[in-house]
């Protein structure tokens, strides 16, 4: 058995011997270290500048999030045709909108280029195992907002893994 395997086995044995409260404390400590590393290891200005160049499709909406170093880059946008009609795509983090997330490190927002009304935003999150993201695409018509499509991700082993995609069909009041 090599030294790394011995070290891993010793850490595993130590963790197995902990109480539930101690495990919670260790998990929170690991999360804090992952956040600290994400903050320390990335040039946030350069990542955001690059994301504003490459993170939006021809439709003006944000692309799917990606990992850059120890950060998750989350583009989001709203494109308006009128005050009562728009298309949008934004990210939720563990069930909260990215801008409300306790994991949000930074978010920059800019007006949409060209003639379209609306805005683009780039949010940076730390790459923390267990974090769940949903990329929610929707639209508003006549003041009524609806969700069209959701792509779900989870951070596992330092990677952003797609776990599901689903179209959300609006009910038209008909019984099946």
The encoded tokens of residue 100 equal 């409300």
Tokens 């998750």 sit on residue: 72
51 close to 120: Cβ distance less than 8 angstroms: no
Least confident of 36-45, 64-73, 138-147, 153-162: 36-45
**Whole-structure pTM value:** 0.78
pLDDT tens digits along 117-170: 899 999 999 999 999 999 999 998 887 888 999 999 999 999 999 999 998 765
pLDDT tens digits along 10-32: 888 888 998 989 888 888 888 77
Read out DSSP for 27-80?
A: HHHHHHHHHHHHHHS--HHHHHHHHHHHSB-TTSSB---EEETTEEEEEEEEEE
Least confident of 35-44, 76-85, 127-136, 142-151: 35-44
Residue spans of the domains in the chain: they are 3-38, 41-167
The encoded tokens of residue 94 equal 């563990």
Cross-strand pairs, 68: 71
């Amino acid at each position: 058995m090599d030294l790394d395997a011995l070290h891993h086995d010793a850490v595993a044995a130590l963790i197995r011997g902990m109480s539930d409260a101690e495990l919670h404390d260790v998990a929170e400590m690991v999360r804090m270290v992952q956040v600290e590393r994400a903050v320390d290891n990335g040039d946030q200005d350069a990542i955001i500048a690059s994301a504003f160049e490459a993170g939006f499709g021809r439709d003006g909406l944000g692309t799917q999030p990606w990992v850059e170093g120890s950060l998750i880059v989350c583009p989001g946008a709203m494109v308006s045709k009128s005050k009562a009609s728009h298309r949008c795509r934004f990210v939720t983090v563990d069930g909260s909108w990215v801008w409300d997330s306790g994991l949000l490190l930074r978010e920059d927002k800019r007006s949409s280029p060209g003639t379209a009304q609306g805005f683009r935003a780039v949010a940076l999150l730390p790459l923390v195992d267990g974090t769940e993201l949903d990329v929610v695409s929707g639209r508003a018509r006549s003041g009524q907002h609806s969700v069209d499509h959701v792509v779900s991700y989870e951070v596992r082993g330092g990677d952003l893994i797609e776990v599901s995609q689903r179209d959300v069909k609006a009910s038209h009041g008909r019984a099946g």
